[in-house]
Amino acid sequence: MLLLLGLCLGLSLCVGSQEEAQSWGHSSEQDGLRVPRQVRLLQRLKTKPLMTEFSVKSTIISRYAFTTVSCRMLNRASEDQDIEFQMQIPAAAFITNFTMLIGDKVYQGEITEREKKSGDRVKEKRNKTTEENGEKGTEIFRASAVIPSKDKAAFFLSYEELLQRRLGKYEHSISVRPQQLSGRLSVDVNILESAGIASLEVLPLHNSRQRGSGRGEDDSGPPPSTVINQNETFANIIFKPTVVQQARIAQNGILGDFIIRYDVNREQSIGDIQVLNGYFVHYFAPKDLPPLPKNVVFVLDSSASMVGTKLRQTKDALFTILHDLRPQDRFSIIGFSNRIKVWKDHLISVTPDSIRDGKVYIHHMSPTGGTDINGALQRAIRLLNKYVAHSGIGDRSVSLIVFLTDGKPTVGETHTLKILNNTREAARGQVCIFTIGIGNDVDFRLLEKLSLENCGLTRRVHEEEDAGSQLIGFYDEIRTPLLSDIRIDYPPSSVVQATKTLFPNYFNGSEIIIAGKLVDRKLDHLHVEVTASNSKKFIILKTDVPVRPQKAGKDVTGSPRPGGDGEGDTNHIERLWSYLTTKELLSSWLQSDDEPEKERLRQRAQALAVSYRFLTPFTSMKLRGPVPRMDGLEEAHGMSAAMGPEPVVQSVRGAGTQPGPLLKKPYQPRIKISKTSVDGDPHFVVDFPLSRLTVCFNIDGQPGDILRLVSDHRDSGQFLNQDARLTEDPAGPSQNLTHPLLLQVGEGPEAVLTVKGHQVPVVWKQRKIYNGEEQIDCWFARNNAAKLIDGEYKDYLASHPFDTGMTLGRGMSREL
């Protein structure tokens, strides 16, 4: 989505997936002149803008996530440089703020109304680009600017999203793809859940095949350097890899998605209601109910375009799904191309024989012909309606269509509006359609509207992804319906402007969320009525729920407080309400075919989005400025999202027990090298994990020298897999040099370190590393690290701080 054009100083800003980012370095090679490869490499390294910091700070309060991304760049070249900041964000998130600092100038983003005509055009462009190149379920935000020579730039991006519960877990995914190794890289996530955190896990870094080479040292657990601290209601997760650890994962800086999954405690009742300054949110997720019978028709595209891997993977997935059906379920199978091929003309009971026969039918499907989407849907709906009408099971079952295609309608009815109208009229709200689109040629907008208008969900599978595993994962979300026809009511005298309260189905592992405004802010009980159907009876739950007012904290969004009730600081429940309301208005606008109604919905969504600073298809972002930078501005933008509401954090941590480390596993690389600089002298720290020793040393170099010690000039990978051991000082008494009581603060005993056949005098010291904030105990090697490192000082000079690509690739690849 193009947000800004024609800014002075060459500034530009856009949202939406675009083509892969071009290299920031520019070669000076001219046509007809051959420049040696090494020279071209040095030219690129010298001119490439340097990323000095990439940090993401996120605070999740009652499933609502505030995230701020900070990126700092340095132009070390002697001329002005174009730079680009890009960040993948979840497709469900709303961008709320963007700020650029170029030198001493500040450019502040402002959310404004978008003209109707322009909005429609830009929305289509945004969807198109996102579908072409985005990671699954993400969009790409890009901003570019020109940095003057020897100057700095900083980018701050904030976005918000409501986490959805799927398969019993909430998932918070953060893209860690700075596009180059970063001197300081960190992800800091705070989770605050008043109901209590029931489970929490950090997954290995995830990268799709099209996006890079991200890989962890241990794919069975969290990424290296991940630390979790947690108590009953609060968790803090920090991912802070060193440059060496980053390079081991991906030397191009595309590490992948940092994913946190968790769930909360919940009572077997009418749900959890939270209140803050006149706004409420109701979380309803019952469990331990008997599942509803499913009436399901699997509709599979068998046109010619499905030939090969796609059809084979889909068949294998359906074999697995058929075995998962329950005895009380009913099912049938339809394959479609230019002809509609129905396995049985009625729904079949689940038996071993019927499952076997269904698998045989799927196995013999062959790809041929065109794509009759309308005809296939009409036939599937007729099968379901016929069964429900004659079985009498009605409200005690759920009718579903699982529809999979990789193309556009090419046979029969091909007009999108006609297909949508025909489907809506035939389904009559009694059949829910769940659609899966495969590849780049699918009409995903049609599938999206089919699901939206018929109480379903939609998923997209990219061309290079495994269609079978995606289909199984999608089916798992809907495999266990527990309730149907759910209605949640509150007294009109107590609640106004509530979000959607009618839901066709509730599936096990999901969650129903309703938010609204309270008429009386001093209300201490809220009457709630829930009506629904399950497999055996009609359920009515009535109760008066005590409401527990919460305290608002400091602004977690990183920018001035939006319009609201004017009391206190940011109200996360108010923002959750505005988020849900905006999403529902956008969904209603997408479904509506009535032009006056669409215009009313557009105006309401636009007004709400502007009020709460949400970047939507009906709003745009413009950069205002430049204005002089104020002291502390960088710190304010960088820290606000991570801090969260201060009173809540204090009360959680002060509840009697300090949050202890849930995970402090030694996910250490084989060699960890850290460095800082004091008075121009580089200070290095080397871990020898085989011996459990930490050694540090100085090198008296010249100011500005850049050293490369990860791999030496003879390609021996000098510190890798080396065993180092301590021996007592020849002139000193015999003693245990590693005894904890001996390792005191300050300078301790002297010893001799034996490594690679050399004997190096060392002394026990405390040293500060990185930016002076972290202190470690180590054995300090004096005399400019003589005998500890091979070669001479000049052998390790590099032209770029991250000039480790060649040496890391050769010298370390065998050990990583």
Per residue in 441-475, pLDDT (tens digit) is 889 889 999 999 999 998 888 777 788 888 898 89
Q: Are strands 279-284 and 619-628 parallel, antiparallel or unpaired?
A: unpaired
Q: Are strands 272-276 and 548-549 parallel, antiparallel or unpaired?
A: parallel
**C-alpha 343, offset from chain centre:** 40
Q: Among the listed ranges 97-101, 316-320, 665-669, which one has the minimum average pLDDT value?
A: 665-669
CA atoms within 13 A on the CB side of 257: 19
**Percent of the chain topping pLDDT 70:** 69
Q: Among the listed ranges 216-230, 484-498, 681-695, which one has the minimum average pLDDT value?
A: 681-695
pLDDT at position 128 is: 31
Residues 535, 396: contact at Cβ < 8 Å?
A: yes
pLDDT at position 657 is: 33
Residues sharing a CB contact under 8 Å with residue 144, sequence separation 6 or more, in sequence order:
10, 11, 12, 13, 82, 83, 84, 85
What SS3 state is found at 445?
A: helix
Residues sharing a CB contact under 8 Å with residue 732, sequence separation 6 or more, in sequence order:
749, 750
**For residues 342-358, average pLDDT:** 94
**For residues 678-685, average pLDDT:** 52
DSSP3 helix / strand / coil % (the chain, rounded to 5): 25, 35, 40
Of residues 438 and 548, the one with the higher pLDDT is 438
pLDDT at position 767 is: 65
pLDDT at position 685 is: 73
Q: Among the listed ranges 268-272, 309-313, 551-555, which one has the minimum average pLDDT value?
A: 551-555
Sequential DSSP letters for 549-601: E----S--SSS---SSS-SSS--HHHHHHHHHHHHHHHHHHHH---HHHHHHH
Start-to-end C-alpha separation, the chain: 40
pLDDT at position 30 is: 42
CA distances 313 to 362, 368, 470, Å, are: 12, 17, 10
Residue whose C-alpha is closest to residue 99's, from 635, 645, 608: 635
DSSP letter for 184, please.
Answer: E
CA distances 111 to 622, 626, 641, Å, are: 7, 17, 19
Is residue 125 very low, low, confident or very high in pLDDT (cuts 50, 70, 90)?
Answer: very low
d(CA 616, CA 180) in angstroms, rounded, equals 30
* pLDDT at 317 > cutoff 80: yes
* pLDDT at 240 > cutoff 70: yes
Residues 261, 203: contact at Cβ < 8 Å?
A: yes
d(CA 40, CA 27) in angstroms, rounded, equals 6
* pLDDT at 8 > cutoff 50: no
Question: For the segment 580-634, what is each residue's pLDDT rounded down to a tens digit?
Answer: 999 999 999 988 888 999 999 999 999 999 999 999 999 999 888 787 766 555 4
**For residues 563-577, average pLDDT:** 70
pLDDT, mean over the chain: 76
d(CA 763, CA 753) in angstroms, rounded, equals 10
**For residues 420-427, average pLDDT:** 94
* pLDDT at 280 > cutoff 80: yes
Question: What's this model's pTM, rounded to 2 decimal places?
Answer: 0.71
DSSP letter for 534, please.
Answer: -
d(CA 665, CA 675) in angstroms, rounded, equals 23
